[in-house]
């Protein structure tokens, strides 16, 4: 599928065992450019971004706005590097900005609390070391020094003949946002809706008490949008948004059913439920995952268990330093 006129997909690599490539999107107008997301904070990604901007007939100096869908390192990481080269305004949700500030100003307390929370959910290994290795600070991601504007969702953003509506779509991250352009019927979807995989929706101590519930609600809210082309942050552009929404909703419903089946065997910790769950679209088990992927699997398991708890289908107890879940 081809991108519409004056819209360019800029791809940068994501290190490690993640999604491989991240799609940033350039919207080019006579009034300057808007960039959705940036890429990882390293030289290779920076060089790739500059090269692709040049191929699109633009440069860093042409960028007026950088919209950050969420502050995960493959989306936000390069902002810190670009801060020294351009004067664009960075736009992000107020909850993402709050997370950045919290991690920058109260990192030791937050990291200790998060490590203890992971341990309470039966995460194996050195939970503090695991969290430190993947923290925003370790990845060089401090709050942006560029002029920034925080949003809540519902705002309009105009540049040239593009007029975007900013949509707050929590779940994958507390302050995840998408951009909708009604005239062209296009959606810059970030990690909210991906064409080939389901985004991780994890439970954390920060900002959101029931992320999966919010994610499913924000998916349903998108049914009313008329979308001819969706621009995801990973994978290829796609159409038929309602069908993709249905597939993702079904995936999570199937996972909830599978986790209830595990609990039918008796009380379990989140780790024990995660060990019995198939991961990466059903191709891997817990034993196949590296330590970081296990952390992601565990926190996503907690998000599903907490949704079942909120629905009254599961009870949660805390005993001997561990959270435990059981069917009602």
pLDDT, tens digit (0-9, with 9 covering 90-100), for 242-264? 999 999 999 999 999 999 999 99
Query: Is 183 in contact with 27 (CB distance < 8 Å)?
Result: no
Q: In the block, which residue shows the tokens 């909210």?
A: 192
pLDDT for the residue numbered 181: 98
What's the whole-number average pLDDT of the chain?
Answer: 90
Please tell me the distance from the alpha carbon of residue 327 to that of residue 259, in angstroms, as a whole number.
Answer: 10
Distance CA 248, CA 219 (A): 9
pLDDT of 31 over the 80 cut: yes
Kindly tell me if the per-residue pLDDT of 18 is higher than 80: no
Helix (H, G, I), strand (E, B) or coil at 174: coil
Confidence grade of residue 235 (pLDDT, cut at 50, 70, 90): very high
The maximal CA–CA distance of the chain, rounded, in angstroms, is 63
Distance CA 158, CA 162 (A): 6
User: Could you tell me the end-to-end alpha-carbon distance of the chain, in angstroms, rounded to an integer?
Assistant: 48
Count of Cβ atoms closer than 10 Å to residue 77 Cβ: 25
Q: Which stretch of DSSP H or E encloses residue 316?
A: strand 314-319
In DSSP terms, 86 is beta-bridged to: none
For residues 296 and 202, the answer to whether their CB atoms sit within 8 Å is yes
Q: What integer is the mean pLDDT of 107-113?
A: 83
Q: What pTM, to 2 d.p., does this model score?
A: 0.93
- How far is the C-alpha of 56 from the C-alpha of 212, rounded, in Å? 38
Closest CA to 2 of 193, 179, 231: 231
Average pLDDT over residues 2-27: 88
Burial class (CB in 10 A: 0-12, 13-18, 19+), 134: middle
Domains in the chain and their CATH numbers?
Answer: 7-105+139-247 (3.60.15.10), 262-327 (no CATH)
Q: What is the mean pLDDT of residues 120-125?
A: 92
């Amino acid at each position: 599928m081809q991108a519409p006129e004056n819209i360019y997909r800029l791809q940068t690599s994501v290190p490690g065992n993640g999604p491989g490539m991240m799609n940033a999107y350039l919207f080019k107008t006579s009034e300057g450019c808007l960039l959705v997301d940036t890429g990882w904070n390293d030289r290779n990604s920076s060089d790739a971004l500059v090269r692709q901007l040049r191929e699109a007939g633009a440069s860093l100096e042409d960028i007026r706005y950088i919209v950050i869908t969420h502050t995960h390192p493959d989306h936000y990481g390069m902002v810190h590097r670009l801060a020294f080269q351009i004067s664009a305004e960075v736009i992000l949700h107020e909850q993402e900005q709050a997370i950045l500030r919290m991690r920058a100003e109260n990192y030791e307390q937050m990291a200790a609390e998060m490590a203890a929370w992971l341990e309470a959910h039966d995460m194996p290994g050195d939970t503090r070391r695991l969290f430190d290795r993947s923290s925003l600070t370790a990845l060089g991601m401090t709050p942006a020094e560029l002029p920034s504007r925080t949003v809540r969702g519902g705002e309009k953003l105009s540049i040239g003949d593009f007029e975007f509506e900013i949509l707050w779509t929590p779940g994958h991250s507390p302050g995840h946002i998408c951009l909708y352009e009604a005239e062209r019927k296009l959606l810059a979807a970030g990690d909210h809706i991906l064409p080939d995989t389901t985004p991780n929706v994890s439970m954390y101590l920060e900002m959101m008490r029931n992320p999966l519930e919010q994610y499913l609600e924000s998916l349903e809210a998108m049914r009313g949008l008329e979308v001819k082309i969706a621009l995801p942050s990973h994978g290829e552009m796609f159409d038929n948004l309602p069908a993709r929404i249905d597939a993702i909703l079904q995936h999570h419903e199937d996972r909830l059913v599978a986790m209830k089946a595990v609990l039918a065997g008796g009380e379990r910790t989140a780790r024990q439920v995660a060990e019995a769950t198939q991961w990466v679209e059903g191709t891997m088990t817990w034993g196949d995952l590296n330590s970081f992927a296990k952390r992601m699997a565990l926190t996503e398991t907690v998000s599903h268990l907490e949704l079942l708890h909120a629905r009254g289908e599961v009870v949660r107890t805390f005993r001997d330093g561990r959270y435990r879940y059981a069917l009602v």
